[in-house]
Amino acid sequence: MRRLIKSAGLREILLPLGRMAVFVLGAGALMSVVMVVLALLCRGSGADKLLLSTQNVNIVFYTMANLPQVLIDGVTIGFVYAAIALGYTMVYGVLEFINFAHSEIFAIGAFAGVEFLIIMDKIGVLATSGTYGPYLYLTLALAIGMLAAGGIAVLIERTAYRPLRGAPRLVPLISAIGVSFALQDIIRLVESLTTGQFYRVIPTFGNFDDKILLFTIQTASAPIKVDIQVKSVIVIAAAVMMLVGLNYIVNATRIGKAIRSVAQDRDTAAIMGIGVNGVIAFTFLIGGALGGAAGVLYALKFTRIDPFVGFMPGMKAFTAAVVGGIGNLTGALLGGIILGMLESFAGAYLGTFTMGNFGSEYKDIIAFLILIIVIVFRPSGLLGEQISQKA
Amino acid sequence: MSLLELEDIHSYYGNIHALKGVSLKVEEGEIVSLIGANGAGKTTTLRSISGLLHPRKGKVIFRGKDVTKLAPNLIHKEGLGLVPEGRGIFPRLTVLENLEMGAFLVKDKAEIARGIEQAFTLFPRLRERAEQKGGTLSGGEQQMLATARGLMSTPSILLMDEPSMGLAPVLVDQIFDVIKELNAKGTTILLVEQNALMALSIAHRAYVLQTGTIVLSGAASNVAKDENVRKAYLGI
């Protein structure tokens, strides 16, 4: 029996890792194939000729040579979206409502982590922390971001959602939108009062901007280097660890079982002795903490944050959660990776394939078109629950 | 002192006055049936006892303690089990996990294992279905699971809401046999039923509920003989 439990615990660690690998490889391979086919179809087009005249490569070669970098970027941002999407999907799972303030919870995590690093930078410990010091401070920043975001999430639930639990569905939704706007301006106010500006830049420290050369593609002209930034590795590694940890909590622990039963039948869970309010608060805590960590990782990757930094990642993560099947943790992971890949591919190739008529700034159109297509044809999402309770 | 006592309970759904002063008692070791037509307030009574709905007026006394305002999880902790209306199976948890949820507050692993073994002895069908998701069970199997789950915490009273609903007659007989068996082993049972004939046949005492008030009570055999009850609920 004991051995069984142990191996069940191990399974809950290996299974999500396997799923992530399948999703990353699957989505990556599918997108690559689609892209190469598109390139083959575009041979001889204006875009092809333009590439030949400016870079001396044809469009098929250009597409393939860029693929590794595009895939790496897609995975990186995809994992950030997945971590945010899990917050939406967990709250939806237990309360069946969309916590629109989650994007601001993400922003608060980002600000808390970045402010901590700025303070550390000011007192001079960041620059002199040696080789491993930066990793320690980054870990601390992540922990602070998680605590701040998780704490705020619990506070929001207690004050803005719990009193509305018996109200019609639309009411807590409006409350969430209100909280979202209020928090945006609260962040702006606090930042303006304390720092005089409302955007912040993460200090440069450590070797996070260094690039690790993976391999080089030899071409007729200049060789193409495929590399990955140290910070991308950190983002991916941190996100993978958190996603595995969350999966473990939800599937292999007592509190996780309580979360799942509250999600499936709140009244019955209560009469089994589960403190429903506590379980819901805990759900907000870990969903918020994940969002906060994603905020710090986002700041690390994109360096500059402002009070509205949560909006676009939040919308995309929400999209990811719906595409994957809202309420389903694996679905959020899949949706996040798909969204990240789509965005990365659109950002890299849209400009080239349209000869600059549509630049990468239009990449978001793709993400939201996919949302509409998926919900029209599969309203329950890609991995939406199909099992129904018999009467 | 009664095991469970309701004193003049008034419960509302919004502005709807669903229970208009319900008083009843359940003594230790009894099977008490609460019968009545659709909408009479049977389920509401059980919800008011178990804390899922807080009465606006009146008292629920369980084992000598006023539990009227307690949250359902705390009332459960006092030793009250509920097999809810519609069975309340967690559809995406396995049969085994559903049973484990019934023993959520039991810390002792050996005791949980014993409870599961007991449930499988009581309902051998559940053993065959142990790894299956609750939502894939048939109605009868779900009722067995709900009953077994309600017993996992070894409650001093088990409230059962319409255990016969939607079941084939042979399964209804089986469920009622189990209820009798449980009672013989010492579990006190408050049974809510539309199937008045069956409910009266196994109960010691009975209450008849009509539009939120108790209109008749007494020994089950006497209630079964009542002219109005026979006309209204037994169809005789």
pLDDT in tens, B121-132: 989 999 999 999
pLDDT the model gives residue A281: 96
Classify each residue of B7-30 as buried b or exposed e, where b means 16 or more C-beta atoms within 10 Å of its C-beta.
Answer: bebbbeeeeeebbeebebbbeeeb
pLDDT at A194: 87
CA quadruple A247, A250, A253, A255: dihedral positive or negative? Answer: positive
Quote the CA–CA distance of A34 and B201 in Å, as a whole number: 70
CATH number, domain containing residue A309: 1.10.3470
Query: Mean pLDDT across chain B, nearest whole number?
Result: 92
A260-312 confidence digits (pLDDT tens): 999 999 999 999 999 999 999 999 999 999 999 999 999 999 999 999 999 99
Q: What are the Cα distances from residue B78, in Å, to A76, B6, B51, B63? A: 51, 16, 12, 8
Question: A207, A230 in Cβ contact below 8 A?
Answer: yes
**Contacts for A360 with CB less than 8 Å, ≥ 6 apart:** A346, A347, A348, A350, A351
Averaged pLDDT for residues A169-184: 94
DSSP A379: T
Give the side-chain half-sphere CA count within 13 A for B156: 14
Does A383 reside within a domain? no
- Rounded Cα gap, residues B33 and A209, in angstroms: 73
CB contact under 8 A, B105 and A269: no
Residue A385 tokens read as 């629950």
CB neighbours of residue A204 within 10 Å: 11
Domain that holds residue A280: 2-377
Per-residue pLDDT tens digits for A310-367: 999 999 999 999 999 988 889 999 999 999 999 999 998 888 888 878 888 888 887 7
Tokens at A215, concatenated: 């391999």
Task: Check residue A7 and give its pLDDT.
Answer: 65
Per-residue pLDDT averaged across A161-188, rounded?
93
Helix (H) or strand (E) segment spanning residue B209: strand B205-210
Q: Give me the pLDDT at residue A6, please.
A: 54
Exposure of B226 by Cβ count < 10 A (0-12 exposed, 13-18 middle, 19+ buried)? Answer: middle
**Conformational region of residue B83, where left means phi above 0, alpha means psi within -120 to 50, and beta covers everything else:** beta
Q: Which of B73, B92, B102 faces A387 most closely, judged by CB atoms?
A: B92
Beta carbons of B138 and A390 less than 8 Å apart: yes
Residue whose tokens read 């109005």: B228
Predicted confidence (pLDDT) at residue A84 exceeds the cutoff of 50: yes
pLDDT at A388: 40
Distance from CA of B162 to the nearest CA of A (A): 13
Which residues of chain B are within 8 Å of residue A275 when distances are taken between CB atoms? 71, 73
Residue whose entry in the numeric block shows the structure tokens 């509302």: B12
Contacts of A274 in chain B (CB under 8 A): 73, 101, 104
pLDDT at B227: 85
pLDDT of residue B165: 87
**Is A389 a domain residue?**
no
Question: To the nearest whole angstrom, how far is the Cα of B222 from the nearest Cα of chain A?
Answer: 33
What are residue A137's phi and psi, to 5 degrees? -65, -35
pLDDT of residue A355: 81
The DSSP letter of residue B94 is B
Instruction: Name the token pair of A370.
Output: 């996919």
Q: Considering the domain boundaries, does residue A47 fall inside one?
A: yes
When pLDDT is averaged across residues A226-249 and rounded to a whole number, the result is 91
| Average of per-residue pLDDT values in chain A | 89
Verify whether the Cβ–Cβ distance B50 to A271 is below 8 Å.
Answer: yes
What's the residue count for chain A?
Answer: 391
Query: Helix axis angle, A230-252 relative to A254-264, nearest 10°?
Result: 80
Give the model's pLDDT for residue A389.
37
Q: Write the pLDDT tens digit of every residue in B19-61.
A: 999 999 999 999 999 999 888 999 999 999 999 999 999 999 9
d(CA A108, CA A106): 5
**Residue A386 lies inside a defined structural domain of this protein:** no
pLDDT of residue A387: 40
Cα of B152 to nearest chain A Cα, Å:
10
* Residue at A354: amino acid letter: T
Q: What average pLDDT does range A40-50 have in this prediction?
A: 85
pLDDT attached to residue B236: 61
Least confident of A63-77, A129-143, A211-225, B49-63: A211-225
The pLDDT tens digits for B60-101 are 999 999 999 999 999 999 999 999 988 999 999 999 999 999
Q: Are B72 and B149 in contact (CB under 8 A)?
A: no
Q: What count of residues does chain B have?
A: 236
Q: Do A260 and B92 touch (CB under 8 A)?
A: yes
CATH code of the domain made up of B4-79+155-234: 3.40.50.300
Here the tokens at position A354 are: 């349209």
Test A270 with B88 for CB contact under 8 angstroms: no
Catalogue the E-assigned strands of A130-223.
Answer: 200-201, 211-217
Q: Is the residue at A390 inside a domain?
A: no
User: Confidence band (pLDDT; 50, 70, 90) for B12?
Assistant: very high
Residue ranges of domains in chain B: 4-79+155-234, 92-153
Is the pLDDT reported for residue A390 higher than 50? no
Residues 6+ apart with CB under 8 A from A119: none
B205 Cβ neighbours under 8 A, 6+ residues apart: B30, B32, B33, B217, B218, B219, B220
Q: Tokens 């001396």 appear where?
A: A56
Label residue A220 by pLDDT band (50, 70, 90). Answer: low
| Alpha-helical regions (H) of A253-310 | 254-264, 266-271, 276-302
Q: How far apart are CA A387 and CA A96, in angstroms?
A: 17
Q: Six-digit token pair at B134?
A: 């609750």
Task: Give which of B92, B94, B107, B160 to mutate to test A binding, by max A Cβ within 10 Å.
Answer: B92
A338 sits in which H/E element: helix A329-353
**Nearest-5° Cα angle at B170, B175 to B150:** 15
| Calpha distance B204→B70 (Å, rounded) | 29
Give Rg (Cα) of chain A: 22
pLDDT at A3 exceeding the cut of 70 = no
Q: In total, how many domains does chain A have?
A: 1
Give me the pLDDT at residue A218, please: 76
Q: Do A270 and B84 touch (CB under 8 A)?
A: no
CB atoms within 10 A of CB A267: 19
More confident residue, A136 or A197: A136
